[in-house]
Amino acid sequence: MDVATGKEEGDAGRFARADEMFTRAWRNALPDLRRRALRLANGRMDAAEDLLSDTAVKALLFMRRSPEAMTDAQGFLFVVLRHVFLDAVRRRRGGEPLDRQHEAHDVDTVADQGMTALQRAELSDQMERVVAAVAALTREQRRLFGYRFVEELPYPVIANLLSINQPLVRKRVELLRKRLRLALVSE
């Protein structure tokens, strides 16, 4: 067996274990996480869902990088939720400005250091699928995607920019999320 192949197989197994650990913890903690997110978002379901989405992504990425550091995966999810919430508050209040380019560079650096060639290829493939799914959207859907997920504008601002009411913006974002999930799963 090739040494590099053995390492990649070991890393793939580690990834699978981390994914399993995340999935199990997420399923068990989701009702409580949802309640906490709703409380943090003052009962606004859309803001709570955004907090949960960001929490899931950040927690999964960390668990994949350092699964051996996990002693309480469910408790960790609540810590990540709290950090995601605090980041959102800072962003909203204009506290410490978040330098997205610096943040993206840090993520790339960590990813390059901690990932095998197989993992980088998998991540690259996943990013290509996301880009293709977004490219397949209509012009209006891409515009909505840009406002909500790239510029991270709040719903009232998006409603004003599109000259529609907020509930319609929320519904369109919800449908957009579903469409993107389906596109990623079906490929």
| Ordered structural domains, the chain, with CATH | 1-115 (no CATH), 118-187 (1.10.10.10)
122-145 pLDDT, tens per residue?
777 777 777 788 888 888 988 898
70-96 pLDDT, tens per residue?
778 888 888 889 888 888 887 777 654
pLDDT score for 114: 56
Mean pLDDT of 58-74: 80
Tell which residue, 112, 124, 123, 136, has the closest CA to residue 186: 136
Residue 10: Cβ-neighbour burial (10 angstroms; 0-12, 13-18, 19+): exposed
Compute how many other C-beta atoms are within 10 angstroms of the C-beta atom of residue 88: 18
Region of 99 (left: φ > 0; alpha: ψ -120 to 50; beta: rest) is: beta
pLDDT score for 79: 85
